[in-house]
Structure 1
């Protein structure tokens, strides 16, 4: 029997002993009542005897022993505004805690949902559902394309394997093009972000900001910038002229923001610090530099939990070696 059940004799003996109960049976014969007693096994009785003996035993939830990780994670989530996935990935990549104490991303979300951490769901902007976009369908254009179409962009730009290809865009305030704005540049391979505060969104100011940036970089600009991808806003009507000496420019189809998806995703990070509807007049370039540094020093899952700054610097050094 023990071999058939795959258990030791002692285990079976203990189980039977705990579950054995005495049953009483009455039987009447010729006006007399006789009592009979017999021992039988009851699974329910065995379980009832087992449970009190094993209260508090067994494997404890991971969070019970993960206080140090939880405190560290709360600091990253609340003070540095990392995502839960970035927290888990960074901790694993840098081996900051024992492997048994680091939860998976889903488990960390469960801990937040269960109220086991100081971080609450309201502190996680990325939990807001994303709206699906419609695929681009060729048809009549409601806005003129300012230059080469994104369809002409080389495949090496599409696959992100080569460094030096940028998307350029703007983040605007509540009052349109006359309000202060952000000129944003993101490198497609590393997701490295460049934020420049400009006094308004007119084409002249954008042109001046870009030419000033290129001039400040000198000979390095030609290696740093290979292509730009932009939308067809009037603020970029002089973009091709501004960068003609260093890079090619490609324009996305009108009303097709997903063709500049990297830029759009980066703007969601900017909006964590500068909500929509808030004027940029209250910000200085120093304030913007702090936001830029936070974006570039934030671990990213798509970069293997490295930071954009790390990937950018590595690619830049490789570019200098091959020059």
Structure 2
């Protein structure tokens, strides 16, 4: 029987998943075994499942039957999966099919579905992507030539537990927004966002009042937007009466990192939508779509002056809306201004 002994420096230290037992935990297991404790007692002390400890004691004992933590650690590392050729490197027929469909501009998802449905071959979509972007040129195609995105490199993706918080000051989610904001009967609840220009280098701030659908635009120009957005929001809302600044709902864009300053200065709570749920700001999303008729995507928004924005706002707010009984947002909002609650 081959005996595996620990070799100092054989395995360079690297972060390991918390799913697996660490060397420190194996030392505690060995101490528990020497003390005559049961696997259940040891597992309780480690905060692990009893099956984890029992399996460890069964699989990683030394040649003489004893449990030694360093030997157990070395045994575990020796069994780790080693890199092996991907399926598209090993299977010439399968690789040929994938290449043919890529030449027809099929997406990896479409290819994977067709392989399973027609050829009975199961392959993960991610496998196709990884092979296509592999530096070894397994698939003789350039990603930018065959993928509709045209990206020569994959976008980096952070692990969920490694993502940095976007906001230094904790945010308040839309789930805590008052119910009165949902029914649109009480005015003063706003939805906000920014529309961005070419290469994300310019932006315009958009605000919509939920009851009247009244729209306001803020000129942000180019460059860094967080400070400018903060100042424009404070300037805009302080000009309104208190009954028309009850709440503001935004998405989780980093441009709103000064949300706490806006809330404290204006005296109006700021709520945030849940990630990936733009429909939680329906009025603002609809208005942003209308604004793209005036500010097309891919254009430089910094060329528009405050006067240009004022003309667009005037045109939108004087357009009759079916949701308002064919009244205009301007008429409804003007009535709200004169009726303090």
Match of residue 249 from structure 2 = 229
1:318 and 2:339 are equivalent in the alignment: yes
Shift of 1:312: 0.7
Aligned length: 176
Shift of 1:202: 2.4
Query: Aligned to 1:155, which of 169, 173, 179?
Result: 179
Q: Which has the higher contact order (CA 8 A, sep 6+)?
A: 1
Query: Which structure has the highest strand share of the two?
Result: 1
Q: Distance in 2 between matches of 1:240 and 1:309?
A: 30
Conserved 8 A contact 1:180-1:197? no
Q: Distance in 2 between matches of 1:273 and 1:240?
A: 32
Conserved 8 A contact 1:227-1:249? yes
Tell me the TM-score normalized by structure 1: 0.51
Q: Distance in 2 between matches of 1:281 and 1:309?
A: 26
Query: Aligned to 2:235, which of 212, 233, 238?
Result: 212
3-state DSSP of counterpart to 2:270: strand
What is the root-mean-square deviation in Å for CA atoms of aligned residues? 1.9
Match of residue 174 from structure 1 = 198
Shift of 1:213: 2.6
Q: Distance in 2 between matches of 1:316 and 1:214?
A: 13
1:196 and 2:227 are equivalent in the alignment: no
Q: Distance in 2 between matches of 1:307 and 1:211?
A: 26
Larger radius of gyration between Structure 1 and Structure 2: 1
Conserved 8 A contact 2:181-2:189? yes
Match of residue 263 from structure 1 = 284
Tell me the TM-score normalized by structure 2: 0.49
3-state DSSP of counterpart to 1:258: helix
Q: Distance in 1 between matches of 2:259 and 2:213?
A: 21
3-state DSSP of counterpart to 2:336: helix
Shift of 1:221: 4.2
Structure 2 stretches lacking a partner, 5+ long:
1-159
Structure 1 stretches lacking a partner, 5+ long:
1-139
1:261-314, Cα deviation, whole Å (9 max, x unpaired): 110000111111111111112211111111101110000000000000011111
